[in-house]
Amino acid sequence: MKKVKIGLLGATGYTGIELLKMLENHPHMEVVFVTSEKHAGKTLASFFPNLTGRPFGELRFIPASEAIQIEVDGVFSCLPHQTAAENLLPFIQKGGVKIVDLSADFRIRDAEIYKKYYHEHPNPELLSQAVYGLVEWEKNIKDFNIVGNPGCYPTSILLPLLPLVKAGLIETTGIIADSKSGVSGAGKSPSDATHYVEVNENFSAYKVADEHRHLSEINEQLSITAKLPVNILFTPHLVPMTRGILSTIYAKPKAGVTRDQILACLQNQYAGQACVQVLEKDFPKTAWVANTNRCMFGFKITEDGQTLVIVSVIDNLIKGASGQGLQNMNILFGLEQNCGVI
Amino acid sequence: MKKVKIGLLGATGYTGIELLKMLENHPHMEVVFVTSEKHAGKTLASFFPNLTGRPFGELRFIPASEAIQIEVDGVFSCLPHQTAAENLLPFIQKGGVKIVDLSADFRIRDAEIYKKYYHEHPNPELLSQAVYGLVEWEKNIKDFNIVGNPGCYPTSILLPLLPLVKAGLIETTGIIADSKSGVSGAGKSPSDATHYVEVNENFSAYKVADEHRHLSEINEQLSITAKLPVNILFTPHLVPMTRGILSTIYAKPKAGVTRDQILACLQNQYAGQACVQVLEKDFPKTAWVANTNRCMFGFKITEDGQTLVIVSVIDNLIKGASGQGLQNMNILFGLEQNCGVI
Amino acid sequence: MKKVKIGLLGATGYTGIELLKMLENHPHMEVVFVTSEKHAGKTLASFFPNLTGRPFGELRFIPASEAIQIEVDGVFSCLPHQTAAENLLPFIQKGGVKIVDLSADFRIRDAEIYKKYYHEHPNPELLSQAVYGLVEWEKNIKDFNIVGNPGCYPTSILLPLLPLVKAGLIETTGIIADSKSGVSGAGKSPSDATHYVEVNENFSAYKVADEHRHLSEINEQLSITAKLPVNILFTPHLVPMTRGILSTIYAKPKAGVTRDQILACLQNQYAGQACVQVLEKDFPKTAWVANTNRCMFGFKITEDGQTLVIVSVIDNLIKGASGQGLQNMNILFGLEQNCGVI
Amino acid sequence: MKKVKIGLLGATGYTGIELLKMLENHPHMEVVFVTSEKHAGKTLASFFPNLTGRPFGELRFIPASEAIQIEVDGVFSCLPHQTAAENLLPFIQKGGVKIVDLSADFRIRDAEIYKKYYHEHPNPELLSQAVYGLVEWEKNIKDFNIVGNPGCYPTSILLPLLPLVKAGLIETTGIIADSKSGVSGAGKSPSDATHYVEVNENFSAYKVADEHRHLSEINEQLSITAKLPVNILFTPHLVPMTRGILSTIYAKPKAGVTRDQILACLQNQYAGQACVQVLEKDFPKTAWVANTNRCMFGFKITEDGQTLVIVSVIDNLIKGASGQGLQNMNILFGLEQNCGVI
């Protein structure tokens, strides 16, 4: 079988390297370019010394302007939002290129919401051509050419919540997601906030309750599914560790809803899905999914029957970014969904 | 001034060493005994090598049975619950000894609640003689001879909540405390749960929502203050760090309550209190209070006015244990409340 | 091709789980038993919840006494020394089973040395039937049926030193290896030494200079290669991290030896070896090889020409244990050496 | 007693805040200014939120140009080298101000050595007016007005080595110091090298063997003491922790030198010194001295009698910087050496 030719825009960050590590062993894809404006001309191994002696180590970064000349079947963008849409536009216009964008630029259907949380969208007309690629939830990914790859926090929150909302098992008001993330979610650029001494032996909240941009996609997806406006509270926290997200989610079961109904709903949704595990008894820990593409969740209804508590974990760089991105690319090319995904 | 003679029961754990470090420099207290059944006869420096060459290093552990013979004015117990009550009983019966117990044995007023969360109380008749020593909240500590020193999680949760409940500014239903703690809170005994490899690069929830024993004191204190039964949800989490608790607390403001009212209420309560800081704008991080006896909290009301979110931090070993314990002992002896407290 | 049937003795530790993760995807091996005396009857997923829903999750531990009844081609032992030899003996006596032992029981050729560092060897007559499986160094592994898999520290030290000793480029006296290891090297049993609070924010030396058992295999291998007795100094240290070993090695180049000679010697030895990388300019960091089977080293000769300094890194659980173990098993069965190795 | 008026130049880094925390409780010193060019006008609490509500929190940063106008008895500089000398010059020229400089600018006696490791010294004529303030070693600090406060690595290395060199108990050739430091030693400015994700779960060497600037002061002090040129090897490493240095030092005892002689030499040198502890049996860990001004060391002679191994630990920010700095300032003003030092 001829291999799918893959390009990577913006390959010097954490999600880029994770993608490359998976693509190195992918039986049906080959990387034909990696871009970096700043490091153009250098080899990957000179930037990621851990790649020394590995197949991709000798690949060289090129600028995006050159990349557009190269024949390619699929493009991943690991660029930040706005830059992503700008750099993907030529590939979209060129046609015949399938795209998975890891930024927020194609996650939102409503340009007004995008504007509220980010800024004016550079190409609002493209939003309807893209799909929100929450792999184990969205059935129609293969019908699109542009995938907005879900954010890390939203992946951990939506996978357990969407089936329950769709089935009408929980109230859509009063939902709280109290999330905790490792530091790699903040990206590779050094800042006061990512300085080792600032993070180590420290735990903090940020963008408390109604401020974080990921609320845009969380609320849009919940609202689409509920067919009414849903607004949850979402407080992210920074954990002194490199990888992993744990979301503790509080919701109110509808009157009479039992634990068994919740369990059946979630198990039905994710039956046969290797990358989503519904635990019957345990609450998962982030280390259980580190370096894997899996989302695991456990849950309980409190003794008074008033609250459903879900604990959901993912590796923010894999299921929360590159792993889910590769699942999406597999789907776009009709490959087995989890092919080459760790 | 003659120094207050202090004894420590169970001085080999983390709270014991923190107490000793503070007592080393206390101008009005001197340590006359430290007990350990297991290490009786050894010097502190042989157990805590970091004390080598420091004044307390040459002190020797004695068994509790010998300690009762020694003349003493005040006794701290750093023993686990049940053992604490058993070992303190001889000192209580002897009379003339003021007691600060860092276990749960004297925190609960209602023996039925104690039984539900722990077991049959060994001396239920003593419960009414003890006070819940939440220092900056409870005005009557000095009138008692036995102080039940508050738990670590409850200290972080009750200091911000109690004034708001008392002032009637928040609903007493639907309160959620999502708390995160460093590992020293689990104590010094090695176990699978405290193994470095299990904790490092990992984040987990435990005793989800309605299971943790600290709910006994949290709910009892809130109920006493509200004058009606209050039951909150409380989910503790384990953070890969040594020290610190951060509690993210969600509550519903009563209709019409403003941010300014919340701020005024909290500032009034804690005016002049060096160890409690109400932040007007920021949300505190655990590192801001590490190795101090301070509790700091910040808060916001969400844009929709429906939720008050409080972020509260303490050092679990200091304000959450030994530092507050020393404040209590100071009060029992009429000393300045924060004397010798770091 | 018929798959090689593999059994694991003692599969509940860190090296066991690493082996299982690699074997899960091995194209030519299948796991037919895993043993645990303590957890016999339980599934792997109940012990390692991160395996929930993965192929091996439903495998059940059996006691070693049952394992001997099962038809098997190769056996890994992840048991501690002494227990390893005892449990492997029945498989050796049965015949036709190839063995890779991750303990020290088959690493030493000289029973007297084994005795000095460990204790009386239970089956000294077997020592001559085993080979020290330092994969990229030892050419004759395929001729043996028993492999003593090298220790973690020795792997990081011997891979760079042995070629230089053999080529006569360095003095064999005065060699110092100052090594630093993550905590997983201490194994899974909880102890004071592995308690999170004891390890975190702490760095320490242990078994300073001439005490650690790994000196037995380091010195024996160096002596065999040098054809004269070599005794190096070796000081291990504990680093607050989970995985990784970095050895800083100081040696004296023989008179007139140049940097280029050192480089050529190492490059020749490891040409074409995917799992050993000689860096020309950089000094590697442990994170560069984390979760891989690679050993990387860099070196320099000091300006005065008197000292060669080598910095060598491995992942102690992979190249220092399970990964090298799987390489050895591949070799025993004539498979490609790095097949299925991460 | 009238308090000594103290100014701090460059108070926004890690050593500045440590100094301020100690000065807050110093019975005989008061802080009259703190400078920052970048943050002039802001309060300390707005920069260090953990100071909120503490006495120094309301102090405001001023630029250095204003500071020179303020009456002051002693000045600490926490500025980087070169900037330190430039900013201290006006205070030196003004006269009557005692100075403790935490940079390298006054540590070196020989301007040529300073130039080799740093650059042309801005005021070489001042070097002879300054003393190398290794507190428990140097007897004449009180006779000077300018103290070059020792570097962190050198403090951990020189305190154990200098007495042995002076007493002629060890060879002055072939000494190796293999040192390991927490990340706070790299300062507060964010960079790739201090990014949490780069440091966490990683261990690395840098400036291997003969490159680090601290060799200038190490070798100069050893040479002065030995009365002949001494050049040691020194390899620093970065540990994933915030604070602490551990130096593993290898030296050759002179023929016939016994363990008891080494012990007696070190004990004599540091008898009565609260901040230097010579351990008779143990090797210290960095956590034993964290947040204290203590240096602890243990040692052994290897069985073959050929090597003395010393393990020495300090807190790099306290004994390796601010704590020793405060000791020096105490000495300059005739105060008890350890007054106010933690």
Secondary structure class of C235 (helix, strand, coil) = strand
Active site residues of B: 152
**What pLDDT shows up at residue C56?**
87
Contact between chains at A248 and B241 (C-beta distance less than 8 A): no
Q: What is the pTM of this model?
A: 0.97
Name which of A106, A151, A110, A101 is nearest A129 in CA terms.
A106
% of residues, chain A, pLDDT over 90: 93
Other CB atoms within 10 Å distance of the CB of residue B267: 12
Other CB atoms within 10 Å distance of the CB of residue B2: 7
What is the spatial distance between Cα A221 and Cα A78, in angstroms, rounded to a whole number? 22
Smallest Cβ distance to D289: which of B50, B282, B292? B50
* CA closest to C197 among chain B residues: B242
Torsion of CA A41, A44, A47, A53, to 10 degrees: -130
The CA angle B272-B277-B282, to the nearest 5 degrees, is: 145
What is the spatial distance between Cα A183 and Cα B165, in angstroms, rounded to a whole number? 36
Secondary structure class of B202 (helix, strand, coil) = coil
A275 is an active site residue: no
Please count the residues of chain B: 342
Other CB atoms within 10 Å distance of the CB of residue C280: 11
Does D56 have pLDDT greater than 90? no
Q: Which two tokens stand for residue D174?
A: 């072939």
Secondary structure class of C100 (helix, strand, coil) = strand
pLDDT-derived band at D118, boundaries 50, 70, 90: very high
**What pLDDT shows up at residue B244?**
98
Is C192 an 8 Å CB contact of chain D?
no
Contact in structure between A240 and A183 (CB atoms under 8 Å): yes
List of chain A residues whose C-beta atoms are within 8 Å of the C-beta of residue B243: 201
DSSP per-residue string spanning C130-142: EEE--TTT-S-GG
What is the per-residue pLDDT across D142-169, written as a single tens digit (0 to 9) for each?
999 999 999 999 999 999 999 999 999 9
* Identity at B231, one-letter amino acid code: N
Q: Half-sphere exposure of residue B239, counting CA atoms within 13 Å on the CB side?
A: 32
**What pLDDT shows up at residue B183?**
97
Average pLDDT over residues D94-100: 95
* CA closest to B231 among chain A residues: A304
Could you tell me whether strands B146-148 and B130-132 are parallel, antiparallel, or unpaired per DSSP bridges? Answer: parallel
The CA angle B211-B212-B217, to the nearest 5 degrees, is: 120
What is the spatial distance between Cα A20 and Cα A123, in angstroms, rounded to a whole number? 28
Interface test with B, best of C18, C38, C48, C195 (most B CBs within 10 A): C195
Name which of A335, A329, A338 is nearest A76 in CA terms.
A329
Other CB atoms within 10 Å distance of the CB of residue A51: 21
List of chain A residues whose C-beta atoms are within 8 Å of the C-beta of residue B286: 201-204
Cα C178 to the center of its chain, rounded Å: 18
Smallest Cβ distance to B277: which of D53, D287, D291? D53
Report how many Cβ contacts below 8 Å link chain A to chain C. 37
Contact between chains at D188 and A197 (C-beta distance less than 8 A): yes
**What pLDDT shows up at residue D302?**
97
- DSSP-assigned beta bridge partners for residue D309: D250, D300
* Identity at B74, one-letter amino acid code: G
Smallest Cβ distance to D302: which of C201, C209, C311? C209
| Eight-class DSSP state of A283 | P
**What pLDDT shows up at residue C53?**
86
φ/ψ of residue A28, rounded to 5: -125, 10
pLDDT-derived band at A52, boundaries 50, 70, 90: confident
Contact between chains at B196 and C191 (C-beta distance less than 8 A): no
What is the per-residue pLDDT across C250-305, written as a single tens digit (0 to 9) for each?
999 999 999 999 999 999 999 999 999 999 999 999 999 999 999 999 999 999 99
**What pLDDT shows up at residue B52?**
87
What is the spatial distance between Cα C170 and Cα C161, in angstroms, rounded to a whole number? 9
**What pLDDT shows up at residue A49?**
87
**Strands lying side by side in the sheet with A130-132:** A61-62, A29-35, A4-9, A74-77, A98-101, A146-148, A130-132
Q: Walk along chain B (342 residues) and give the pLDDT tens digit of each residue.
A: 799 999 999 989 999 999 999 999 899 999 999 999 999 999 999 888 888 888 889 999 999 999 999 999 999 999 999 999 999 999 999 999 999 999 999 999 999 999 999 999 989 999 999 999 999 999 999 999 999 999 999 999 999 999 999 999 999 999 999 999 999 999 999 999 999 999 999 999 999 999 999 999 999 999 999 999 999 999 999 999 999 999 999 999 999 999 999 999 999 999 999 999 999 999 999 999 999 999 999 999 999 999 999 999 999 999 999 999 999 999 999 999 999 998
Cα B192 to the center of its chain, rounded Å: 25
| Eight-class DSSP state of B188 | S
| Distance between B183 CA and the closest CA of chain C, angstroms | 7
Contact in structure between B177 and B234 (CB atoms under 8 Å): yes
Secondary structure class of B98 (helix, strand, coil) = strand
| Eight-class DSSP state of A123 | -
Please count the residues of chain A: 342
List of chain B residues whose C-beta atoms are within 8 Å of the C-beta of residue A204: 246, 283-286
Contact in structure between D15 and D317 (CB atoms under 8 Å): yes
List of chain D residues whose C-beta atoms are within 8 Å of the C-beta of residue A197: 14, 183-184, 188, 194, 242
Helices and strands: H and E segment counts in chain B: 10, 14
Interface test with B, best of D22, D24, D48, D50 (most B CBs within 10 A): D50
Residue holding tokens 């202090």?
A: B6
What is the per-residue pLDDT across B45-66, written as a single tens digit (0 to 9) for each?
988 888 888 888 999 999 999 9
Name which of A293, A272, A331 is nearest A139 in CA terms.
A331
Does D2 have pLDDT greater than 80? yes
Other CB atoms within 10 Å distance of the CB of residue C229: 10
**What pLDDT shows up at residue B342?**
84
Smallest Cβ distance to A291: which of C279, C282, C291? C291
What is the per-residue pLDDT across C7-39, written as a single tens digit (0 to 9) for each?
999 989 999 999 999 999 899 999 999 999 999
CA-to-CA separations, B129 to B98, B328, B333, D99, D211, in angstroms, rounded: 12, 15, 17, 58, 67
List of chain B residues whose C-beta atoms are within 8 Å of the C-beta of residue D243: none
What is the spatial distance between Cα D148 and Cα D131, in angstroms, rounded to a whole number? 6
Those of residues 38-77 in B touching chain D at CB distance below 8 A are 49-50, 52-54
What is the spatial distance between Cα D155 and Cα D221, in angstroms, rounded to a whole number? 11
**What pLDDT shows up at residue C342?**
83
Contact between chains at C197 and B188 (C-beta distance less than 8 A): yes
What is the per-residue pLDDT across A122-165, written as a single tens digit (0 to 9) for each?
899 999 999 999 999 999 999 999 999 999 999 999 999 999 99
Radius of gyration of chain D (CA): 20
What is the spatial distance between Cα A177 and Cα B64, in angstroms, rounded to a whole number? 48
List of chain A residues whose C-beta atoms are within 8 Å of the C-beta of residue D191: 190
What is the spatial distance between Cα B340 and Cα B31, in angstroms, rounded to a whole number? 13
* Identity at D174, one-letter amino acid code: G
pLDDT-derived band at C142, boundaries 50, 70, 90: very high
Contact between chains at A52 and C277 (C-beta distance less than 8 A): yes
* Identity at B288, one-letter amino acid code: W
Contact between chains at D52 and B279 (C-beta distance less than 8 A): yes
Is B288 an 8 Å CB contact of chain D?
yes
Residue holding tokens 């754990």?
A: B13
* Identity at C91, one-letter amino acid code: F
Interface test with D, best of B183, B277, B295, B313 (most D CBs within 10 A): B277
What is the per-residue pLDDT across D249-275, written as a single tens digit (0 to 9) for each?
999 999 999 999 999 999 999 999 999
**What pLDDT shows up at residue D52?**
87
Cα B321 to the center of its chain, rounded Å: 4
Q: Which two tokens stand for residue B309?
A: 């979110």
**What pLDDT shows up at residue B111?**
94
What is the spatial distance between Cα D14 and Cα D78, in angstroms, rounded to a whole number? 9
Name which of C222, C226, C233, C221 is nearest C174 in CA terms.
C233
List of chain B residues whose C-beta atoms are within 8 Å of the C-beta of residue A240: 239-241
Provide the H-helix boundaries in C79-179: 83-94, 111-117, 152-166
Contact between chains at D53 and B292 (C-beta distance less than 8 A): no
What is the per-residue pLDDT across C68-127, written as a single tens digit (0 to 9) for each?
999 999 999 999 999 999 999 999 999 999 999 999 999 999 999 999 999 999 899 999
Name which of D317, C314, C291 is nearest A242 in CA terms.
C291
What is the per-residue pLDDT across D198-253, written as a single tens digit (0 to 9) for each?
999 999 999 999 999 999 999 999 999 999 999 999 999 999 999 999 999 999 99
Report how many Cβ contacts below 8 Å link chain A to chain B. 126
The CA angle B77-B81-B86, to the nearest 5 degrees, is: 70
Cα B110 to the center of its chain, rounded Å: 19
**What pLDDT shows up at residue C318?**
98
Secondary structure class of C12 (helix, strand, coil) = coil
Contact in structure between B100 and B76 (CB atoms under 8 Å): yes
* Average pLDDT, rounded, for chain A: 96
- DSSP-assigned beta bridge partners for residue A98: A74
3-state DSSP helix/strand/coil % of chain C, to nearest 5: 35, 20, 45
Q: Which two tokens stand for residue C253?
A: 């180049």
Could you tell me whether strands C233-238 and C176-181 are parallel, antiparallel, or unpaired per DSSP bridges? Answer: parallel
List of chain B residues whose C-beta atoms are within 8 Å of the C-beta of residue C199: 196
pLDDT-derived band at C52, boundaries 50, 70, 90: confident
